[in-house]
Amino acid sequence: MIRARLIEVNGRSVTDLPGLEDRGRRFAEREQNLTWTQQLQPDNEISAGHWWTEDEHGKPLVSIASEYERDLKLKLGDRLLFDIAGESLEVTVTSIRKVRWDSFHPNFFLVMPPGLIESAAGTYMTSVHLTPGQKPMLVDFVREFPGVSVFDIDRLLSQVRELMDKASRAVEYVFLFTLLAGVIVLLAPFNRRVTNGATRVRCCAPSEQAGARCSRA
């Protein structure tokens, strides 16, 4: 993965691009993550254009994610100028990809062919699957390679699930409280009718004294 800045689109500064909404503006002005690959990943699908052939390796081409295309209002054939550690690189959009971001594979908005940006300083990323019995190996791995950052997706997902469970329980409590309040509101008129009925019965007791009291009331 190479960090870069998007400088121009079709020779026009990103600060002057017309019609961009807030998300598109953030896309244009933030630091970009570039990568390269020879083969299209299984969780990526070409929706427009073509994936590069071996003859196109090393050429200034780029494949962009559909979100990047939509928010920056790009199209096939557009030219993007990047600043990579002080060096300028202009590439042409040759394909647009639909990316399954929920696959948890390393995916990028901007992908280039091999032989173009490998010489720039960057960070290597990968994903591996470990069984529960293999996870203790990560401790030894990090101890031997302290410069490597390891993210346990299972643990992260467990934390997310725990938060979602707490939120779900909170919603259930709110629902029960609302239901109880609704029942109380529905019973209130009935309780008033019962109370009024009991008062009339007591008021209209069969005695002259009670009748006088009723008449005075």
pLDDT for 23-81, tens place per residue?
888 888 889 999 999 999 999 999 999 999 999 999 999 999 999 999 999 999 999 99
In this prediction, residue 196 carries a pLDDT of 57
In this prediction, residue 33 carries a pLDDT of 92
> How many residues can be counted in the chain?
217
| Six-digit token string for 102 | 């929920």
pLDDT grade for 120, boundaries at 50, 70 and 90: confident
pLDDT grade for 216, boundaries at 50, 70 and 90: very low
Burial class (CB in 10 A: 0-12, 13-18, 19+), 107: middle
Give mean pLDDT, residues 95-109: 88
Residue that has been written with the tokens 């007591």 in this structure: 202
In this prediction, residue 176 carries a pLDDT of 83
Is the pLDDT at 198 greater than 70? The verdict is no
In this prediction, residue 212 carries a pLDDT of 44
Report in angstroms the alpha-carbon separations of 180 from 40, 139, 172, 187, 190: 56, 51, 12, 11, 16
* Separation between Cα atoms, residue 112 and residue 185, nearest integer Å: 64
* Separation between Cα atoms, residue 6 and residue 71, nearest integer Å: 14
Q: What is the DSSP string of 85-142?
A: TTEEEEEEEEEEEEE-GGG-S---SEEE-TTSSTTS-----------TTTTTHHHHHH
In this prediction, residue 208 carries a pLDDT of 47
Is the pLDDT at 119 greater than 50? The verdict is yes
Pairing relationship of beta strands 87-99 and 12-13 according to DSSP bridges: unpaired
Query: DSSP letter at 39?
Result: S
**CA neighbor of 48 nearest in space, from 78, 24, 70, 76:** 76
Summarised one tens digit per residue, pLDDT across range 133-169 is 777 777 887 788 887 777 777 777 677 778 888 888 8
In this prediction, residue 113 carries a pLDDT of 96
| 89, 58 Cβ separation under 8 angstroms | no
Question: What letter represents residue 177's amino acid?
Answer: F
Is the pLDDT at 105 greater than 50? The verdict is yes
